């Protein structure tokens, strides 16, 4: 098969659903490669061998051994399969390096939320092995045409490849979130075996430090990010996180491609986490999920009160602090609020306190719970995403598919995927949620009030729900765009 008929892609990622997921990157790392494989694109993953990855993949066999690479400890490469469903599995390469990856805790942080002190080495090794496999130094017969890197954790692959003299793959870096940049002290350049000369503005240096992401964005042949609007925003001082100059200079090589969602995993007609499945022809069945959610979360079991929901990391980016500010007014509207999330201890504490102040009206579950997140999407009347910035966002798409109009801040991918409710969008059948701007507590509250007025007009509300449910958020269209970019890099 020629490269143009079936390009070979090494998809390098630091997390993948269902083995290891902290956010949207985990979802994308499973769904996009699966969608690409259905479009004649031989996509294989490269992953760190965390305990849950080693335990979760099938048919492991050792295919290579890496002795001392720079200051990295020795490691092995395993070939395996990641099963996504009975019928579907993806080839994966797993880096088995017990000293760097076999430990209790998260992929990036320990159980107390502190970054692992050796993250530069951990993800330097991921990037380094990615570069080896993508070049003629690879010990494998399978050679990719493209190394597709994701976020800072594989940002050094293009830098390593830049300094490789032999044959090598083209490189693509996808930014899932520009706020995380992999910044380490200047000495990292030597520790990770990159030439000292790369430590300058035209290389890996970033305001006097060393940055994985900056390196990736500088050396990659092409850059993508996860929505067209975010691709524009990251070129501005407001949301460029210090990289706006580089991104604006590279804008000819920067493309925004909206993420899809896994429409089998997120389907209200078949979702096993719901108490009653439904579709756009039997929307009243959605109410059983509201009732179950109210019961399960200790909310007053009232079918008519608007129930608002959040599933989110609880941090500054996600803007959930605005909800804490408006909680007294929300409860008075009246409305109920259910929150599932975790992250920053202070916000977790503030949300937990709200439950004591407003029992029966506000319910909070601190933690990560896949099943409950599905029930919230189905059971609430409106889903809230007051993100300060949002590269793409997935929950606003899930909620539209579940007949749960989202209320979102007009930013990033939220602006690309939600159509604001107003008389003209209702008339032309495009309205699918509510956008608020600017990012302030009073505008959010005002928009929630507007949504609740719409909710009480049952006919309009059903039209809004059905518009959202009819939208196509599947991966095939976006995967086809990635494929076109791969092909353009090959030609």
Residues lying near ligand ADP in the complex (CB under 6 A) are found at 23-24, 27, 311-313, 340-342, 368-370, 373, 392-395
Shortest reach from residue 213's CB to ligand ADP, in Å: 16
Nearer to ligand ADP, 65 or 370 (CB): 370
Shortest reach from residue 245's CB to ligand ADP, in Å: 24
Nearer to ligand ADP, 373 or 404 (CB): 373
Cα Rg for the chain, rounded, in angstroms? 23
Nearer to ligand ADP, 121 or 261 (CB): 261
CB 385 within 8 A of CB 396: yes
Shortest reach from residue 318's CB to ligand ADP, in Å: 7
Residues 6+ away with beta carbon under 8 Å from 125: 48, 69, 72, 75, 95, 97, 100
Nearer to ligand ADP, 291 or 313 (CB): 313
CB 73 within 8 A of CB 66: no
d(CA 129, CA 213): 17
Residues composing the chain:
491
Shortest reach from residue 147's CB to ligand ADP, in Å: 22
Shortest reach from residue 151's CB to ligand ADP, in Å: 10
Nearer to ligand ADP, 153 or 188 (CB): 153
Nearer to ligand ADP, 212 or 389 (CB): 389
Q: Which of 73, 129, 59 is nearest to 101 (CA)?
A: 73
Nearer to ligand ADP, 30 or 46 (CB): 30
Shortest reach from residue 75's CB to ligand ADP, in Å: 28
Nearer to ligand ADP, 284 or 367 (CB): 367
Torsion angle of the four alpha carbons 64, 67, 72, 77, in this order, in degrees rounded to the nearest 10:
10
Nearer to ligand ADP, 221 or 369 (CB): 369
Shortest reach from residue 28's CB to ligand ADP, in Å: 8
Across the strands, what pairs with 225? 175, 256
Q: Work out whether the CA dihedral 367, 369, 373, 376 comes out positive or negative.
A: negative
Query: Rounded to the nearest 5 degrees, what angle is found at the Cα of 36, between the Cα atoms of 35 and 39?
Result: 100
Q: How many CB atoms neighbour CB 38 within 10 A?
A: 11
Shortest reach from residue 446's CB to ligand ADP, in Å: 24
**372 token code pair:** 């409950």
Shortest reach from residue 154's CB to ligand ADP, in Å: 16
SS (H, E, C) 156-187: CHHHHHHCCCCCECEEEEEECCCCCCCEECCC
DSSP-derived pairing of the beta strands 8-12 and 42-48 = parallel
Three-state DSSP at 254 gives: strand
């Amino acid at each position: 098969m020629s490269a143009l008929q079936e390009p070979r892609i090494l998809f390098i990622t630091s997390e993948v659903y269902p083995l290891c997921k902290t956010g949207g990157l985990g979802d994308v790392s499973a769904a996009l490669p699966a969608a690409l494989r259905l479009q004649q694109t031989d996509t294989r993953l490269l992953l760190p061998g965390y305990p849950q990855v080693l335990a979760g993949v099938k048919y492991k066999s050792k295919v290579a051994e890496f002795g001392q690479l720079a200051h990295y400890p020795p490691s092995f490469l395993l070939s395996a399969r990641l099963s996504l469903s009975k019928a579907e599995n993806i080839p994966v390469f797993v880096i088995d390096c017990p000293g760097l990856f076999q430990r209790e805790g998260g992929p990036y942080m320990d159980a107390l939320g502190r970054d692992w002190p050796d993250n530069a080495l951990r993800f330097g090794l991921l990037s380094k092995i990615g570069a080896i496999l993508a070049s003629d130094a690879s010990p494998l017969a399978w050679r990719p045409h493209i190394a597709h890197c994701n976020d800072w954790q594989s940002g050094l692959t293009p830098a390593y490849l830049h300094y490789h003299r032999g044959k090598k793959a083209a490189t693509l870096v996808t930014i899932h979130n520009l706020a995380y940049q992999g910044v380490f002290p200047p000495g990292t350049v030597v520790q990770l075996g990159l030439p000292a000369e790369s430590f300058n503005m035209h290389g890996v240096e970033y305001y006097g430090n060393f940055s994985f992401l900056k390196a990736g964005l500088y050396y990659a042949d092409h850059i993508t990010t996860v929505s067209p609007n975010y691709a524009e925003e990251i070129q501005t001082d407001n949301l460029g996180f210090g990289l706006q100059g580089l991104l604006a200079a590279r804008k000819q090589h920067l493309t925004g491609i909206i993420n899809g969602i896994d429409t089998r995993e997120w389907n209200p007609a078949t979702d096993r986490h719901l108490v009653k499945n439904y579709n756009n022809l039997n929307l009243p069945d959605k109410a059983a999920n509201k009732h179950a959610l109210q019961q399960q979360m200790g909310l007053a079991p009232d079918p008519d009160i608007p129930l608002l929901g959040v599933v989110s990391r609880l941090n500054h980016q996600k803007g959930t602090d605005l909800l804490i500010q408006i909680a007294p007014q929300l409860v008075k509207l009246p409305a109920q609020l259910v929150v599932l999330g975790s992250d920053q201890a202070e916000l977790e504490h503030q949300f937990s306190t709200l439950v004591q102040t407003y029992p029966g009206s506000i319910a909070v579950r601190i933690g990560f719970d896949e099943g409950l997140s599905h029930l919230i999407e189905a059971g609430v009347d409106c889903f809230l995403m007051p993100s300060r910035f949002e590269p793409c966002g997935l929950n606003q798409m899930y909620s539209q598919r579940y007949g749960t109009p989202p209320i979102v801040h007009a930013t990033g991918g939220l602006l690309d995927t939600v159509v604001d409710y107003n008389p003209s969008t209702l008339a032309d059948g495009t309205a699918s949620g509510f956008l608020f701007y600017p990012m302030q507590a009073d505008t959010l509250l005002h928009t929630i009030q507007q949504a609740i007025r719409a909710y009480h007009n049952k006919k309009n509300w059903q039209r809004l729900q059905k518009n959202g449910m009819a939208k196509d958020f599947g991966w095939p269209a976006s995967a086809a765009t990635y494929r076109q970019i791969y092909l353009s890099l090959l030609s």
